[in-house]
């Protein structure tokens, strides 16, 4: 290789890394600016939500060859739930984990494109990174209702989530009472996100987190739930009318799916 | 495809003009390549004949396929012989046990893109042969590089080359990403930009160093190159017609030395991609060199 060729090669490498750099910059620039915080914004998703039937995270990442079959199978099934993980993970930590996750499939936004649990992608993954399982045994994540945003917990009748859930009968517990038709999602939830999609609240009142993240926040979440159940009528009234309903009304104006 | 073969007989170009008129085998392999790409594009309108990409795909919603280097990559990173992946790689291995490195000449989209880059360049430079530099980088480097990639995959526990650098993965990631972006389906822009820059980088490399990637670096091609040693396909030569013009050697952009093997029964060079340019280029109008699956 002559010196001139070497120079060219160096320049090219430079240009390529610059382009790569701009890719990560792009992520920063386009990190969605939403008018309202999502449900349970204090709880992180805890990593990427994988398609159903994925192996344990580490084994999955090692096995998945980023072929895109699952992405396109999901598209062919008309669900379009799966996207390719971005160059740098937007879920907090990012860093090396984000870089290693790049290229692998994940469910990008359940508010628009949840997984319908058609179970085609695990059947078709050529690398065996996704393996066929029964619908009820899927462990994509765990759906958590934000009780401060849910219509049902704030004096209304809704239950859209439980109607949307493909395994609703087993997953939903109901606490119907004077404060509304109050739904609660138990641990049999598989995390498909259909409930997220069909929640009528602007931006949804439900958030799906990874199973591992759920284990981490479980104590706090169920603690809050218990507190809410035992709250006196007056305190509940103040919270519902003082804090929750104004938030709910504001989000009700979210007609456009601005967060897409 | 059969129509195209008939085309080959019709109006065979005379040697002087052969670079201007469409070359039969070159045209046939473009039909094969574009056919495959079109089938992959049809997946976006839910035609389920070829789904996925050339790293891994699903044929007729039934047969799963994995590229051989990608299989090795996944094997090293996961350290797990899964039956699923094995079942997916076997049909591919069978195909290329017959056709050797023909993948590079007949299926790989980069081959086509590189040809376009070459044409763009030659429009200003006139002569095709002028792009043939003296290459002094040994193609053997590629095997070392492939081994290094596998080592990194093992350390990172991520199929390193296949996920980040592969032209195949990134080509189809870019294609899917672009289409999804246009259709307002979930896709992250950084994915499009990343894959776009990898492909653009490869095209720039091609502009300055024609086929350096294929000949020296590409681990996917190198893997299929190993198949050349045991595959059925070969170049075979008819006896005693060679005018020793060396046009075949000039035409070959993989720099296979063909002319010096003319006296042998067959040639199965590790770099040969069975594109057929030597056959089309030969001054005997394709009578001397032939592609054969036996002898
Ligand atoms: S089909 Fe399997 S190997 Fe391919 S991208 Fe999806 S999970 Fe990964
Ligand atoms: S199971 Fe879910 S993610 Fe997989 S193809 Fe069906 S809808 Fe898409
Ligand atoms: S509760 Fe929601 S996320 Fe959980 S299984 Fe039902 S629809 Fe899916
Ligand atoms: S769909 Fe949303 S608002 Fe309705 S009950 Fe379920 S969580 Fe509450």
B261 and B159 within one domain: no
Based on the domain organization, do B203 and B241 belong to the same domain? no
Q: pLDDT by residue (tens digit) across A172-196?
A: 999 988 888 899 999 999 999 999 9
Domain-located, residue B100: yes
Partner residue opposite A23 with nearest CB, options B169, B186, B197: B197
Q: Among A213-227, B62-76, B92-106, B265-279, which is the least confidently predicted range? A: B265-279
CB atoms within 10 A of CB B291: 17
The whole-angstrom separation of Cα B194 and Cα A17 is: 10
For residue A145 and ligand 3, the question of a CB distance below 6 A is answered with no
CB contact under 8 A, B204 and A23: no
In this structure, what token pair is assigned to residue A188?
């049999």
Q: Are residues B112 and B258 in the same domain?
A: no
Q: Any CB–CB contact under 8 A between A195 and chain B?
A: no
Residue range of the domain that includes A87: 50-139
Please indicate, yes or no, if residue A240 is contained in any of the structural domains: yes
Bridge partner list, A183: A174
What does the pLDDT read at residue B262?
Answer: 84
Count: domains in chain B: 2
Q: State which of B199, B226, B253 marks the end of a domain.
A: B226
- Shared-domain flag, residues A164 and A245: yes
Domain limit, last residue, from B203, B226, B249? B226
CA–centroid distance for B265 within its chain: 25
- Same domain for A162 and A135: no
Name the residue among A26, A62, A125 with its Cβ closest to that of B190: A26
Domain end residue (candidates: B196, B226, B256): B226
Q: Report which ligand 2 atom has the smallest distance to the Cα of A192.
A: 2
* Segment A53-76, tens digit of pLDDT: 999 999 999 999 999 999 999 999
Q: Is residue B7 part of a domain?
A: no
Residue A146 belongs to domain with CATH number = 3.30.70.20
Q: Pick from A86, A120, A139: which residue ends a domain?
A: A139
What does the DSSP assignment read for B176-243?
HHHHHHHTT-S--HHHHHHHHHHHHHHHHHHHHSTTHIIIII-HHHHHHHHHHTT-S-EEEE-TT---
Enter the tokens of residue A173: 């517990």
Residue A5 lies in a domain: no
Count of structural domains, chain A: 2
Q: Quick check: B193 and A26 in contact, CB under 8 A?
A: yes
Residue of A nearest to B155 (CA): A62
One domain, residues B54 and B149:
yes
Q: Residue B9's pLDDT band (boundaries 50, 70, 90)?
A: very low
Q: Do A150 and A133 fall into the same domain?
A: no
Scanning A3-42 for CB atoms below 8 A from B yields 5, 8-9, 12, 15-16, 19-20, 22-24, 26-27, 30
Cα–ligand 3 centroid distance for A191 (angstroms): 5
CA distance A246 to A242: 7
User: Are A127 and A86 members of one domain?
Assistant: yes
The residue length of chain B stands at: 295
The CATH number that applies at residue A59 is 3.30.70
Query: CA-CA-CA-CA torsion for B230, B232, B233, B239, nearest 10 degrees?
Result: 100
Residue where a domain terminates, one of A115, A139, A163:
A139
In a domain, A30, yes or no: no
Looking at the structure, tell me whether residues B63 and B102 fall in a common domain.
yes
Q: The whole model's pTM is what?
A: 0.87
Same domain, A96 and A162: no
Look at residue B134 in the predicted model and tell me its pLDDT.
52
**Structural domain span for residue B285:** 233-295
Locus of tokens 């910059």? A25
A168 CB-near residues (< 8 Å, 6+ apart): A162
Is residue B75 located within the same domain as residue B174? yes
Is B168 in contact with B160 (CB distance < 8 Å)?
Answer: no
Residues B222, B234: Cα–Cα separation, whole Å = 17
Q: Where does residue A112 rank: exposed (0-12), middle (13-18), buried (19+ CB within 10 A)?
A: middle
pLDDT tens-place string over residues B135-184: 568 888 999 999 999 999 999 999 999 999 999 999 999 999 999 999 99
Sheet with strand B289-292: strands edge to edge: B266-267, B234-237, B289-292
Distance from CA of A43 to the nearest CA of B (A): 22
* Shared-domain flag, residues A151 and A187: yes
Do A145 and A134 belong together in one domain? no
- Interface contact B58, partner A, CB < 8 A: yes
* Whether pLDDT at A259 is above 70: no
Tell me, using a 6 A CB cutoff, whether residue A120 lines ligand 2.
Answer: yes
Do strands B266-267 and B234-237 pair parallel, antiparallel, or not at all (unpaired)? antiparallel
- CATH code of the domain containing B265: 3.30.70
A24 inside domain: no
Confidence of residue B87 (pLDDT cuts 50, 70, 90): very high
Of A94-103, A123-132, A188-197, B210-219, the one with minimum mean pLDDT is A94-103
* B19 has pLDDT over 50: no
Say whether pLDDT at A28 is over 70: no
* Residue of A67, A103, A123, A131 to mutate, ligand 1, most atoms within 8 A of C-beta: A67
Domain shared by A72 and A107, yes or no: yes
Average pLDDT over residues B216-223: 95
pLDDT band at A9 (very low <50, low <70, confident <90, very high): low
Residue A74 Cβ inside 6 Å of ligand 2? The answer reads yes
List the Cα angle A28/A30/A33 in 5-degree steps.
105
In a domain, A19, yes or no: no
């Amino acid at each position: 290789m002559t010196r001139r060729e070497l120079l060219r090669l160096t320049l090219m490498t430079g240009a390529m890394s610059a382009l790569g750099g701009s890719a990560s910059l792009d992520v920063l620039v386009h990190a969605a600016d939403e008018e309202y915080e999502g449900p349970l914004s204090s709880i992180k998703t805890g990593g990427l939500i994988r398609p159903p039937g994925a192996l344990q995270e580490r084994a999955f990442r090692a096995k998945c060859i980023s072929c895109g079959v699952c992405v396109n199978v999901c598209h062919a099934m008309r669900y379009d739930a799966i996207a390719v993980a971005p160059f740098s993970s937007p879920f907090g930590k990012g860093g090396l984990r984000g870089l290693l996750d790049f290229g692998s499939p994940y469910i990008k936004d359940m508010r628009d494109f949840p997984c319908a649990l058609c179970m085609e992608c695990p059947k078709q993954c050529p690398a065996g990174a996704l393996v066929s399982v029964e619908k009820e045994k899927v462990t994509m994540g765990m759906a958590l209702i934000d009780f401060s945003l849910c219509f049902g917990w704030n004096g209304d009748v809704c239950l859209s989530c439980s109607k949307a859930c493909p395994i609703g009968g087993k997953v939903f517990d109901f606490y119907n009472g004077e404060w509304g038709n109050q739904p609660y999602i138990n641990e049999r939830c598989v995390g498909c996100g259909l409930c997220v999609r069909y929640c009528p609240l602007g931006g949804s009142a439900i958030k799906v987190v990874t199973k591992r993240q759920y284990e981490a926040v479980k104590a706090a979440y169920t603690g809050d739930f218990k507190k809410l159940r035992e709250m006196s009528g007056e305190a509940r009234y103040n919270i519902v009318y003082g804090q929750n309903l104004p938030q709910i009304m504001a989000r009700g104006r979210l007609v456009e799916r601005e967060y897409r | 495809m059969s129509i195209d073969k008939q085309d080959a007989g019709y109006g065979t170009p005379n040697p002087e003009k052969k670079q201007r008129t469409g070359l039969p085998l070159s045209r046939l392999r473009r039909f094969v390549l574009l056919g495959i790409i079109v089938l992959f594009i049809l997946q976006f309108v839910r035609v389920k004949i070829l789904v996925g990409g050339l790293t891994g795909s699903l044929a007729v919603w039934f047969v799963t396929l994995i590229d051989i280097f990608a299989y090795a990559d996944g094997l090293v990173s996961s350290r797990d012989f899964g039956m699923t992946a094995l079942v997916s790689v076997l049909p591919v291995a069978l195909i290329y046990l017959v056709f050797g490195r023909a993948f590079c000449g007949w299926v790989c989209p980069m081959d086509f893109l590189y040809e376009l880059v070459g044409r763009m360049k030659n429009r200003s430079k006139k002569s095709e042969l002028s792009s043939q530099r003296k290459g002094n980088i040994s193609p053997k480097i590629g095997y070392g590089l492939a081994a290094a990639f596998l080592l990194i995959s093992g350390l990172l526990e991520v199929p390193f080359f296949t996920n980040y650098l592969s032209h195949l993965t990134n080509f189809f990631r870019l294609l899917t990403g672009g289409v999804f972006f246009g259709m307002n389906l979930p896709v992250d822009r950084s994915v499009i930009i990343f894959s776009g820059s990898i492909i653009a980088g490869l095209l720039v490399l091609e502009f300055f160093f024609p086929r350096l990637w294929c000949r020296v670096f590409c681990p996917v091609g190198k893997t299929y190159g190993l198949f050349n040693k045991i595959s059925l396909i070969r170049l075979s030569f008819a006896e005693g017609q060679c005018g020793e013009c060396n046009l075949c050697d000039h035409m070959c952009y993989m720099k296979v030395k063909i002319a010096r093997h003319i006296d042998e029964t067959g040639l199965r060079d590790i770099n040969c991609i069975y594109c057929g340019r030597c056959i089309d280029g030969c001054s005997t109008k394709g009578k001397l060199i032939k592609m054969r699956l036996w002898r």
